Structure 1
Amino acid sequence: MLKLNRIHHIAIICSDYEQSKRFYTEILGFTVLQEVYREERRSYKLDLEVNGLYQIELFSFPGPPPRPSRPEALGLRHLAFEVNNLEEAIFHLNEYRVITEPIRTDETTGKRFTFFNDPDGLPLELYEV
């Protein structure tokens, strides 16, 4: 049987590198591990750490094709981040003019959550524990 240890990283392609870099570092507060410009691909690769646990790779490529990104679109549904206090997290995002959906409650777990989008419309979720 295949033994997978954990998720190693999540890769995101953005349309405006500087805007997305600012969003993920200044607004979401991820730590930059490494930033590389790959001349042959005319592409940046930014490695971001999420609270010492996971890594997000943020890529820029010239002219990436659009992709449906609503949570109900086929493929990856969304990326969820755990938070301790949903209201505080929403307040922080709203201070940066990031629009969040109304708070919902998970019917199975009773936990509260909300969705918002990154600069390219990628659906992101805050899930309160």
Structure 2
Amino acid sequence: MLQLNKVHHIAIICSDYQKSKTFYTNILGLTIVQEIYRAERQSYKLDLALNGNYIIEIFSFPNPPQRPSKPEAAGLRHLAFEVDDIQLTRDFLVNNNISSEEIRVDEHTKKRFFFIADPDDLPIEFYEK
């Protein structure tokens, strides 16, 4: 039987590299592991970590196609982060001019959560621990 250990990373293609880099590092607080410019592809690759664990790759490519629709499009539905204090998290994002949905309650787990969008409108969920 196949033995998987963990999710190694999530790759995201962005349309505005500097805007996405700022969002994921300055707003979400992920740390840069490595940043590479690949001239032959006119592309940046930014490796990001959360609490010392490598989790996200941000890629830039010239003129990537737009996402066809909100979360119901085929492909990645959303990226979710666990947080200790859902209200404090939402307040921080709103105070940093990040548009946010209202906090909702998961009808099955009774945990609170809400969504924002990254600079390319990728849905990002924050889910209480």
Match of 2:111, as an amino acid? K
Displacement over 4 Å in runs of 4+? none
CA contact (8 A) 1:86 1:127 kept: yes
CA contact (8 A) 1:11 1:57 kept: yes
CA contact (8 A) 1:7 1:54 kept: no
Instruction: Give the 5 Å matches for 1:58-73.
Output: 58-73=58-73
With structure 1 as the length reference, what TM-score do the two structures score?
0.96
SS of match in other structure, 1:62: coil
Aligned to 1:116: 116
Deviations 1:27-55 (A, max 9, x none): 00000000000011000000000122342
Instruction: Give the 5 Å matches for 1:1-129.
Output: 1-129=1-129
Hey, what's the Cα distance between the residues in 2 that align with 1:73 and 1:102? Answer: 22
With structure 2 as the length reference, what TM-score do the two structures score?
0.96
RMSD: 1.0
**How many residues are treated as equivalent by the alignment?**
129
Match of 1:9, as an amino acid? H
Cα distance, 1:103 vs structure 2: 0.9
Hey, what's the Cα distance between the residues in 1 that align with 2:81 and 2:54? Answer: 11
Deviations 1:83-115 (A, max 9, x none): 000111011111111011011111111000000
CA contact (8 A) 2:33 2:54 kept: no
Match of 1:107, as an amino acid? E
CA contact (8 A) 2:78 2:125 kept: yes
Cα distance, 1:73 vs structure 2: 2.1
Match of 1:5, as an amino acid? N
Could you tell me the percent identity over the aligned residues? 62
Match of 1:23, as an amino acid? F
Hey, what's the Cα distance between the residues in 2 that align with 1:68 and 1:87? Answer: 31
SS of match in other structure, 1:26: helix
Hey, what's the Cα distance between the residues in 2 that align with 1:69 and 1:82? Answer: 25
CA contact (8 A) 2:47 2:54 kept: no
Hey, what's the Cα distance between the residues in 2 that align with 1:90 and 1:30? Answer: 17
